[in-house]
Amino acid sequence: MRKCTKCKKIKDLDSFHLKVDGKLGKKSHCKACVKAYDKKRSVKKSLYDSKRYIENKDSIKKQNKNYYENNKEKYRNYEVQRSRLLDSKISRMYKKDNEMIYKKCRELNIENEEYHVDHIIPIKNEIICGLHVPWNLQIIKKEDNLKKSNKLLTEEELEGILNHGQAEK
């Protein structure tokens, strides 16, 4: 048992992260307090970044353009790799089915807010490579797709995104 120095509650040692040089080999703040702190810090940083972007929009755009100009080869290589993945033999077999999904997404974008076609299992991920086939595509809200990025989600996270999109249709 250990007392958290943040919330002052006495908790089991499993409620604390490991720290080699810490007392009892654990950190002084419990996992719940660390998580709350990280979330608060994340929101604060997001607000700071948004404010900074608004205040320095032109300079940031200029920096991004300069970076792109100096790294065109890197961007070109990425685009070539992506087009090869999307234009694989199996993708061509399901081209019409895929096009129907993209057409449905475009129709939703006209009627409602913005939607994206998302790969359930990402095309490019550190541990797995998904396919550009109908059963790996889903139409989800733009903000959900941008949050997901190229991460492989758990079933619960994926279910939450799917339910979020259906609830508001």
Q: How confident is the model at residue 41 (pLDDT cuts 50, 70, 90)?
A: very high
Model confidence, pTM = 0.44
pLDDT of residue 161: 60
Which tens digits make up the pLDDT trace of 77-126? 777 777 776 677 777 888 899 899 999 998 888 776 889 999 888 877 77
pLDDT of residue 129: 74
| Whole-number Å distance between alpha carbons of 41 and 44 | 5
pLDDT of residue 90: 76
Q: List the single range of 20-24, 67-71, 74-78, 152-156 with lowest mean pLDDT.
A: 152-156
Residue 57 pLDDT greater than 80, yes or no: yes
